[in-house]
Structure 1
Amino acid sequence: MSATATVPAARRGSPHVSGDVRVTFPRLVRSEWIKLWTVRSTWWVLPITVLAMAGIAWMVAYFGTQEATDGAEVVLGASTAAVVVSGLQLAQLAICVLAVLTITGEYTTGMIRSTLTAAPTRTPALLAKALVVVVVAWVTGLVATLASWAVTYPVLGEQLRVDLDDAVNQRILVGAPLYLAAIALLAYGIGALLRHSAGALATVLGLLLVVESVFALVPWTFFQKVSPYLPMSAGSQLVQNGGPDATLSPWEGFGVLVAWGVVALAAALVLAKRRDA
Structure 2
Amino acid sequence: MSTPQPPMPQAAAPNWQAAPGPSYPTYTSPIPVVRTHLGHALASEWTKIRSVRSTMWTLGVFVLLVVGIGLGAAALVSANASSEGLAGENPLSFGFFGLLLGSMCIMTLGVLTTASEYGTGMIRTTMTACPSRGRVLTAKAIVFTTVAFVVTLVSALLVAFADVAMLDGAKEPSGEEWLKGTVGISLYIALLGLLSLVIGSIIRHSAGAITIMIGVLLAPLVIALFMFSESLADLRDALFEYSIPNQLSVFYANSLSESGPSGWDPLWIMLGVTAAAFAGAYALLEQRDV
Same fold (TM over 0.5): yes
Q: How many residues align?
A: 266
| Amino acid aligned to 2:80 | E
The structure number with the bigger radius of gyration is 2
- 1:115 corresponds, among 126, 146, 152, to 126
Which region of structure 1 is more displaced relative to structure 2, 168-177 or 187-196?
168-177
User: Unaligned stretches of 5+ in structure 1?
Assistant: 1-5
- 1:224 corresponds, among 229, 237, 244, to 237
CA distance in 1, matches of 2:245, 2:273: 10
**Aligned-pair Cα RMSD in Å:** 2.6
CA distance in 1, matches of 2:180, 2:248: 13
What pairs up with 1:126-137 in 2 under 5 angstroms?
A: 126-137=137-148
Q: CA deviation at 1:211?
A: 3.1
CA distance in 1, matches of 2:25, 2:248: 55
Identity %: 30
Which region of structure 1 is more displaced relative to structure 2, 106-115 or 147-156?
147-156
Contact 1:190 1:200 in 2 (8 A): yes
CA distance in 2, matches of 1:12, 1:97: 53
Q: CA deviation at 1:71?
A: 5.4
| Amino acid aligned to 1:23 | T
Q: SS of the residue aligned with 1:276?
A: coil
Which structure has the highest helix share of the two? Answer: 1
Q: CA deviation at 1:231?
A: 4.6
What is residue 221 of structure 2 aligned with on the other side?
212
What pairs up with 1:14-93 in 2 under 5 angstroms?
A: 14-20=28-34, 22-68=35-81, 72-74=85-87, 77-93=88-104
What is residue 3 of structure 1 aligned with on the other side?
none
- 1:104 corresponds, among 89, 98, 115, to 115
CA distance in 2, matches of 1:131, 1:36: 12
Q: CA deviation at 1:37?
A: 0.6
Contact 2:250 2:263 in 1 (8 A): yes
Which region of structure 1 is more displaced relative to structure 2, 63-72 or 22-31?
63-72
CA distance in 2, matches of 1:122, 1:186: 18
CA distance in 1, matches of 2:145, 2:158: 20
| Amino acid aligned to 2:224 | F
CA distance in 1, matches of 2:155, 2:28: 49
What pairs up with 1:144-223 in 2 under 5 angstroms?
A: 144-157=155-168, 159-160=169-170, 163-215=172-224, 217-219=226-228, 220=232, 221-223=234-236
CA distance in 2, matches of 1:49, 1:169: 21
Which region of structure 1 is more displaced relative to structure 2, 63-72 or 128-137?
63-72
1:42-97 per-position Cα deviation (integer Å, ceiling 9, x unaligned): 111112111110111111111112223565322xx422111134311011011111
TM-score by length of structure 1 reads 0.86
TM-score by length of structure 2 reads 0.82
Contact 2:149 2:189 in 1 (8 A): yes
CA distance in 1, matches of 2:42, 2:244: 27
